[in-house]
Amino acid sequence: MPGNVCDDDPMLGGRSIKLARVFGIRIGVDLSWFIVLFLIIWLLADAYGEIYPGDELRSFGLATVSALLFFLSVVLHELGHARVAIHNGIGIAGIDLWLFGGVAKMKRDTDSPGVEFRVAIAGPLVTLVIVALCAGALAVLGGGFTAIADPDGGASGAVLVLSYLGGVNLVLLLFNLIPAFPLDGGRILRAIAWWRTGDRGRATRLAARLGRVFSYFLIALGGFVLVVEEDFTTGIWFVVIGLFLGQAAKAAELQSRFSDRIEGLRVADVMDAQPVAISIQTPLDRAFDEFFLRYRWPWFPVVDATGHFVGLVSQAEVESVPEERRANETVDEVMTRDSTETLRVGTDEPLERLLDSHTDGLSRLGAIMAVDREGVLRGIVTMERLRRALRPATPAV
């Protein structure tokens, strides 16, 4: 929802903007997050303006604090998922805030129903704690979750902010627990179904189908709000969320069916075992002449003196250095390092591993580097080789 492969690397496409590191986990924001932040502040400023008419500065200040605290609670929710995943041996590439909230990007999928359940439930439990803390603070201050909806209540700024924060987290908690994939409730359902049936694929398809049904409901609800209630903002938001959930659920169902087909295959079975790589100490002029001009590829993997994969270098990065200086600078000075290990996969990993969302190589480059247990580059898996390997065999005549 990771430092940092490269947040603004044109070779990798758009990436999130890094905000901070918490417990060693990179926190970033997608550009779409700023749109949502602006909308929330704008809507809240209007709500606070009804309580403090004529005091625009106070209304805007409370709206800004409320919005930032809300997104902090989203980060805490995702950190709950991330910490439990790490505790169960699953690496986290990072946490990103974006249009629909936040996402903790796991480096691989869970490998048992128990781990799936623990990771899925961790976020809602954190949100429940936030709701409880807000409720406790409001009880001490003499307020409630409905204070922000009462313009004549005379509530203090602290009560109003806590009212909003507790109320919005309560709504999100209930929404997130709906048993529809990819919501947390859907993942909890998948864990239970997986535990009962022993079949992760079947459990995923069940949760995904419920996710698609729920998405149709949200789209229909959005249409009703638009046409009957004439509430444009809420109606469009329901429709957009419904479309997103439907697409995510459909993708999960297709991925599950695909995973069943490739069961038993490993990365080593489909990789090109003779990768062309550039040494990290290669001068830029040699890299340009002997690799980019010769092979006409836009990027190459970079290895150190012992053959360990360290990152990628693109033609654009080499060309960013003036020609007269390339003989005195090396690939090491311009390359993109794979510090989050999202551009590599183990040679002995199941082929299903390539379907994980964190593998930026396949999704952004159309290829991913295959390394052994020590991190030595052993091959490259391209989308073409993957398609060829998965193409049904033609029966012999």
For 310-324, give one letter per residue: b (16+ CB within 10 A) or e.
Answer: bbbbbbebbeebeee
In a domain, 261, yes or no: no
In a domain, 224, yes or no: no
What are the Cα distances from residue 264, in Å, to 261, 334, 378?
9, 39, 20
Q: Are 164 and 36 in the same domain?
A: yes
Give the single-character DSSP code of 229: I
User: Residue 137 class from Cβ within 10 Å (0-12 exposed, 13-18 middle, 19+ buried)?
Assistant: middle
In a domain, 239, yes or no: no
Domain end point (choices 152, 177, 202) = 177
Q: Are 158 and 33 in the same domain?
A: yes
Domain end point (choices 129, 146, 177) = 177
In a domain, 236, yes or no: no
Residues 73, 176 contacting (CB under 8 angstroms) = no
Number of domains the chain contains? 2
Q: Are 295 and 154 in the same domain?
A: no
The answer for 198, left when phi > 0, alpha when psi is -120 to 50, beta otherwise, is: left
Show the tokens assigned to 95.
């946490």
Q: Are 165 and 274 in the same domain?
A: no
Q: Are 28 and 161 in the same domain?
A: yes
Q: Are 167 and 46 in the same domain?
A: yes
In a domain, 157, yes or no: yes
**Cis preceding-peptide flag for 179 (omega within 30 of 0):** no
In this structure, what CATH number is given to the domain that contains residue 334?
3.10.580.10
Residue 139: count other Cβ atoms within 10 Å of its Cβ: 10
Q: Are 274 and 154 in the same domain?
A: no
Residue closest to 126 by CA, chosen among 179, 80, 185, 172? 80
Domain end point (choices 177, 199, 228) = 177
Q: Are 157 and 273 in the same domain?
A: no
Q: What is the pLDDT along the chain (397 residues), one digit of tens a residue?
A: 322 223 333 333 346 788 888 888 889 888 888 888 898 899 888 888 888 887 889 889 999 999 999 999 999 999 999 999 999 988 888 888 887 778 888 877 888 999 999 999 999 999 999 999 999 999 888 877 777 666 666 678 888 899 999 999 999 999 999 998 888 999 999 999 999 998 888 898 899 999 999 999 989 998 998 888 787 878 888 898 889 888 888 888 877 777 776 667 888 888 999 999 999 999 999 999 999 999 999 999 999 999 999 999 999 999 999 999 999 999 999 999 988 788 888 998 887 777 654 455 676 788 899 999 999 999 999 888 877 766 655 444 3
Amino acid at 26: R
Amino acid at 184: D
Amino acid at 126: V
Query: What is the Cα–Cα distance from 270 to 157, expressed in whole angstroms?
Result: 60
Helix axes 157-176, 56-87, angle to 10 degrees: 40
In a domain, 315, yes or no: yes
Query: What is the Cα–Cα distance from 199 to 375, expressed in whole angstroms?
Result: 32
In a domain, 210, yes or no: no
Q: Are 157 and 26 in the same domain?
A: yes
Show the tokens assigned to 146.
């409905």
Identify the pLDDT of residue 151.
Answer: 66
Domain containing 158: what range? 17-177
User: Residue 149 class from Cβ within 10 Å (0-12 exposed, 13-18 middle, 19+ buried)?
Assistant: middle
Strand partners of residue 106: 92
Identify the pLDDT of residue 166.
Answer: 92
Is pTM beyond 0.85? Reply is no
In a domain, 317, yes or no: yes
